[in-house]
């Protein structure tokens, strides 16, 4: 019950603050999630004696799980007083394509792009 309260509190805070999605907090939450979902990630693959970071596409379920995990982690690291404030501010940042969770997605994509040469090791 406690975790639900944090999420609902964050959504209420989003509602009062408004934003690009006509102030509907659920719509803003989905938009934030879409902005954080990764398309590709890297997986370690050992070939011979070397370990390669191989870019692989992320399945839809994992995409959502990673996005939620990254939003929560980024929220925990923020400086606001309550978790509701942290989560609502991180969601607002994600809607506007900024913040730590979006940066995490960009870093993941950058890593996959840098290791594109090893994509033939995909399994």
Q: pLDDT per residue over 63-113, tens digit each?
A: 999 999 999 999 999 999 999 999 999 999 999 999 999 999 999 999 999
Helical (H) or strand (E) element with 45: strand 40-47
Output the six-digit token pair for 78: 């923020």
Is the pLDDT assigned to residue 20 strictly greater than 90?
no
Q: φ, ψ for residue 11 (rounded to 5)?
A: -65, -40
Q: What is the per-residue pLDDT for 1?
A: 67
CATH code (residue 102) = 1.10.455.10
100, 36 Cβ separation under 8 angstroms: no
Residue 62 CA to residue 22 CA, distance in Å, equals 29
Higher pLDDT, 36 or 120: 36
Domain that holds residue 76: 2-121
Helical (H) or strand (E) element with 40: strand 40-47
How do residues 23-49 score in pLDDT, each as one tens digit?
789 999 999 999 999 999 999 999 899
The number of folded domains in the chain is 1
């Amino acid at each position: 019950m406690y975790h639900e309260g944090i999420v609902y509190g964050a959504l209420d805070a989003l509602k009062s603050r408004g934003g690009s999605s006509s102030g509907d907090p659920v719509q803003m939450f989905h938009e934030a999630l879409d902005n954080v979902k990764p398309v590709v990630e890297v997986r370690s693959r050992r070939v011979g004696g070397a370990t390669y970071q191989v870019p692989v596409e992320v399945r839809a379920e994992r995409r959502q799980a990673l996005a939620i995990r990254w939003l929560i982690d980024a929220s925990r690291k923020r400086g606001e007083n309550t978790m509701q404030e942290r989560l609502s501010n991180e969601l607002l940042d994600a809607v506007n394509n900024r913040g730590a969770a979006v940066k995490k997605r960009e870093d993941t994509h950058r890593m996959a792009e840098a290791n594109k040469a090893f994509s033939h090791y995909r399994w």
